[in-house]
């Protein structure tokens, strides 16, 4: 009788094996799709990696470069318009991609926000890891301490040598005095220190995050502007009073604190001796500050590096110069212009350049371009006068004459410190040289061709005030301080682990009833093992510290004049 098993075995032996068919991979064997959650998790992992944070930080620095090379619309709209006019191809292209408003452009904001998110994603997991590490005791003593990079062993012989408890107590006390966290077991001591290193890293990254927050607050709500004020005149904290203004995206005109600053006097002193002649010795402005509408004026003193703080708005004294007082009468005898004109210093002796404009003069509009010399000196008959000292000891005003037909008002602002000569003609002598003349206080010059007269009435000083509010600056300064502290901790704190084990003891001195090796028990010897491990980059001193600790632990026997036994040292 044949069984089914015999039939199947016989059939398998007689019939040739079937050719293997190509296997088709079933859908269930394919790699599973990660899904939208997995995709988000992957993107989050990439964004929050430290490598991405460093790349974003580099991109942020790179993206800020065009802001200093290309004129910005908030700082100088006239220069932006001139740039677009001078570059008809790349100018409109720059405008479309936000090159004239770099710091508020979408691409710069995207890099900034991504860096912010990346730092947050880097810090949060590390804070949790660090918190768990603080609660975790030092690791147990390894089975083979000799495999550690730094290892020392001391063998102590004799029945009168220190007991295990004494050696471990000494090890625990020494390690605690060295600021280690210590865990004591029956025959060993585990220790670890350097937890502040990771705390320093976290403080540094948190400070960087807070610093970015402070800069963002400044960029959103802060503002800074300047205004040139002639002595005797005042400044009101309104938009129309600023010569230039840089403000954040969230800045509004209502954010300006209402106050006025009246510059009553400006005291200047220069060195008159042979050493450092002309060097500044005193710049002090006596001002009168009125806060709010109908406030009571109060006298204040404004000096360099000693700003005024008016309800959170700071007022700095940043520059000064001269403003010659001029009266221009046109060809009809009418006063076309009268008052001080600000001239900008060109060198250390305050030779200043400026422009006087009388667009309403008749029958021709007038303009004058020239120099103001506080202490005019003529070195030779053929050379032009120069200023020999920054103080106004011998003031003189040198001017060229420009005239032209009346010009229709366009409403477009013009630079008060430069002259657009389109439509103007320079007055010249018969030999073709420009007409130039010099005035001192009280002098009057008759312009050629009946254009009128120019009188220098005197001169005044002017001061340049910088007014601004930086609400994020205190946050940024505190963040920088903590960043330096965290960086110092991460650089100078040395995370290290150490272990001390005593083995091979007599049964009478064993703690906790631990069994000793029979051969070692018979000899009554004790072996003190000390191992160490640096958790950071390789630093000098680990081997020496381990050897010094081992010597201290067996020093009791040496102090009594007994041999400490053979010493084995291994350095890796």
HEC letters along 419-437: CCCCCCEECECCCCCECEE
User: Residue 31 pLDDT more than 70?
Assistant: no
Query: Which of the given ranges, 113-117, 274-278, 350-354, 381-385, has the highest pLDDT on average?
Result: 350-354
In this structure, is residue 202 part of a structural domain? no
Kindly report, residue by residue over 317-367, the tens digit of the pLDDT: 999 999 999 999 999 999 999 999 999 999 989 999 999 999 989 899 999
Examine the domain organization and report whether 169 and 281 are in the same domain.
no
What average pLDDT does the segment 258-263 reach? Answer: 94
Examine the domain organization and report whether 566 and 504 are in the same domain.
yes
- Tell me which of 91, 116, 132 is where a domain ends: 132
Which of 97-106, 330-339, 492-501 bottoms out in mean pLDDT, i.e. has the lowest?
97-106
Whole-number Å distance between alpha carbons of 64 and 44: 26
Examine the domain organization and report whether 328 and 453 are in the same domain.
yes
Examine the domain organization and report whether 235 and 301 are in the same domain.
yes
pLDDT of 558: 42
User: Residue 512 pLDDT more than 50?
Assistant: no
In this structure, is residue 5 part of a structural domain? no
Give the pair of three-digit tokens for residue 53: 């944070």
What average pLDDT does the segment 248-265 reach? Answer: 88
Kindly report, residue by residue over 224-239, the tens digit of the pLDDT: 889 999 999 999 999 8
Residue 560 binned pLDDT confidence (cut-offs 50, 70, 90): very low
Angle 278-283-286 from CA coordinates, rounded to 5°? 150
- The residue whose two tokens read 């730094």 is 150
User: Residue 26 pLDDT more than 70?
Assistant: no
Asked whether 297 and 262 are in contact (CB, 8 A), the reply is yes
What average pLDDT does the segment 479-505 reach? Answer: 89
Examine the domain organization and report whether 384 and 433 are in the same domain.
yes
User: How many residues are listed for the chain in this entry?
Assistant: 572
More confident residue, 308 or 82: 308
Which of 50-59, 111-120, 445-454, 560-569 bottoms out in mean pLDDT, i.e. has the lowest?
560-569
In this structure, is residue 487 part of a structural domain? no
Cα of first residue to Cα of last residue in the chain, in angstroms, is 77
Report the largest interatomic distance among the alpha carbons of the chain, rounded to a whole angstrom: 147
Asked whether 441 and 459 are in contact (CB, 8 A), the reply is yes
Examine the domain organization and report whether 336 and 426 are in the same domain.
yes
In this structure, is residue 30 part of a structural domain? no
Query: Which of the given ranges, 145-159, 267-281, 440-454, has the highest pLDDT on average?
Result: 440-454
pLDDT of 344: 93
C-alpha radius of gyration, the chain, whole number: 42
User: Residue 511 pLDDT more than 70?
Assistant: no
Give the pair of three-digit tokens for residue 357: 């404009």
Asked whether 357 and 337 are in contact (CB, 8 A), the reply is yes
Examine the domain organization and report whether 361 and 437 are in the same domain.
yes
Query: Which of the given ranges, 160-164, 360-364, 463-467, has the highest pLDDT on average?
Result: 463-467
Of 377, 370, 323, 379, give the one whose Cα is nearest residue 349: 377
pLDDT of 19: 53
305-333: string of b/e by CB count within 10 Å (b at 16+)? eebbebeebebbbebbbbbbbbebbbbee
- The residue whose two tokens read 């670890």 is 192
More confident residue, 436 or 382: 436
Give the pair of three-digit tokens for residue 533: 């491990």
What average pLDDT does the segment 494-508 reach? Answer: 76
In this structure, is residue 402 part of a structural domain? yes
User: Residue 444 pLDDT more than 50?
Assistant: yes
Examine the domain organization and report whether 277 and 332 are in the same domain.
no
pLDDT of 160: 55
pLDDT of 105: 86
As a dihedral over the C-alpha atoms of residue 330, residue 336, residue 338, residue 343, rounded to 10 degrees, the angle is -90
- The residue whose two tokens read 């098993």 is 5
In this structure, is residue 212 part of a structural domain? no
In this structure, is residue 23 part of a structural domain? no
pLDDT of 510: 40
What average pLDDT does the segment 378-390 reach? Answer: 78
- Tell me which of 132, 156, 174 is where a domain ends: 132
Among residues of the chain, what percentage have pLDDT more than 70?
85
What average pLDDT does the segment 390-398 reach? Answer: 93
Examine the domain organization and report whether 277 and 316 are in the same domain.
yes
What average pLDDT does the segment 510-537 reach? Answer: 61
Residue 499 binned pLDDT confidence (cut-offs 50, 70, 90): very high
Give the pair of three-digit tokens for residue 510: 């064993």
Examine the domain organization and report whether 448 and 368 are in the same domain.
yes
Phi, psi dihedral angles at 219 (to 5 degrees) = -65, -25
pLDDT of 158: 56
Examine the domain organization and report whether 517 and 546 are in the same domain.
yes
pLDDT of 570: 43
What range does the domain containing 50 cover? Answer: 40-132
pLDDT of 313: 92
Whole-number Å distance between alpha carbons of 502 and 153: 10
Kindly report, residue by residue over 183-215, the tens digit of the pLDDT: 999 889 999 998 898 899 899 989 988 998 898
Examine the domain organization and report whether 441 and 390 are in the same domain.
yes
User: Residue 6 pLDDT more than 80?
Assistant: no
Please count the structural domains in the chain: 4
Kindly report, residue by residue over 293-315, the tens digit of the pLDDT: 778 899 999 998 899 999 889 99
Asked whether 125 and 492 are in contact (CB, 8 A), the reply is no
Residue 467 binned pLDDT confidence (cut-offs 50, 70, 90): very high
Instruction: Provide the pairing of β-strand 365-373 with 181-184.
Output: unpaired
pLDDT of 261: 95
Average pLDDT, the chain: 83
């Amino acid at each position: 009788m044949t069984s089914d098993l015999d039939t199947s075995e016989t059939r398998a032996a007689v019939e040739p094996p079937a050719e293997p068919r190509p296997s088709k991979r079933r859908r269930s064997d394919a790699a599973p799709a990660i899904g939208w959650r997995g995709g988000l998790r992957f993107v989050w992992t990439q964004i929050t990696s430290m490598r991405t944070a460093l790349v974003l930080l580099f991109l942020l620095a790179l993206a800020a470069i065009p802001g200093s090379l290309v004129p910005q619309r908030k700082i100088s709209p006239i220069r932006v318009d001139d740039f677009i006019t001078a570059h008809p191809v790349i100018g409109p292209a720059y405008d479309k991609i936000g090159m004239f408003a770099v710091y508020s452009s979408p691409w710069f904001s995207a890099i900034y926000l991504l860096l912010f998110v990346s730092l947050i994603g880097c810090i949060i997991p590390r804070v949790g890891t660090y918190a768990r590490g603080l609660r975790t005791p030092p690791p147990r003593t390894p089975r083979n301490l000799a495999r550690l990079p730094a290892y020392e062993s001391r063998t102590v012989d004799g029945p009168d040598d220190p007991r295990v408890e004494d050696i471990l107590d000494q090890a625990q006390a020494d390690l605690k005095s060295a600021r280690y966290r210590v865990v004591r077991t029956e025959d060993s001591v585990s220790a670890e220190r350097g937890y502040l290193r990771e705390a320093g890293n976290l403080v540094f990254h948190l400070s960087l995050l807070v610093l970015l927050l402070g800069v963002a607050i400044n960029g959103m709500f802060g503002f800074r502007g300047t205004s040139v004020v002639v002595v005797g005149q005042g400044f009101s904290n309104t938009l129309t009073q600023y010569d230039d203004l840089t403000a954040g995206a969230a800045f509004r005109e209502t954010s300006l604190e209402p106050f006025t600053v009246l510059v009553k006097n400006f005291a200047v002193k220069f060195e008159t001796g042979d050493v450092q002649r002309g060097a500044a010795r005193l710049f002090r402005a006596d001002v009168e500050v009125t806060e709010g509408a109908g406030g009571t004026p109060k006298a204040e003193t404004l000096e360099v590096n000693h700003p005024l703080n008016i309800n959170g708005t700071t007022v700095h004294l940043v520059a000064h110069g001269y403003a010659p007082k001029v009266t221009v009468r046109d060809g009809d005898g009418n006063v076309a212009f009268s008052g001080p004109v600000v001239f900008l210093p060109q060198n250390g002796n305050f030779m200043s350049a400026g422009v006087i404009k009388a667009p309403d003069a008749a029958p021709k509009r007038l303009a004058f371009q020239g120099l103001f010399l506080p202490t005019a000196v003529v070195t030779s008959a053929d050379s032009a006068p120069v200023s020999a000292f920054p103080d106004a000891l011998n003031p003189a005003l040198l001017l060229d004459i420009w005239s032209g037909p009346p010009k229709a008002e366009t409403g477009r602002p013009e630079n008060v410190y430069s002259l657009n000569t389109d439509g103007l003609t320079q007055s010249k002598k018969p030999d073709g040289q420009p007409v130039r003349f010099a005035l001192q206080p009280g002098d009057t010059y008759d312009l050629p061709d009946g254009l009128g007269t120019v009188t220098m009435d005197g001169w005044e000083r002017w001061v340049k005030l910088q007014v601004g509010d930086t609400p994020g600056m205190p946050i940024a300064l505190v963040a920088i301080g903590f960043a330096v502290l965290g960086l110092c901790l991460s650089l100078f704190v040395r995370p290290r682990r150490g272990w001390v084990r005593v083995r091979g003891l007599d049964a009478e001195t064993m703690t906790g009833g631990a069994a000793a090796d029979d051969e070692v028990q018979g000899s009554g010897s004790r072996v003190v093992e000390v191992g160490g491990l640096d958790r950071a980059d390789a630093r000098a001193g680990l081997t020496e510290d381990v050897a010094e600790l081992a010597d201290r632990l067996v020093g009791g026997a040496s102090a009594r004049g007994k041999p400490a036994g053979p010493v084995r040292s291994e350095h890796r």
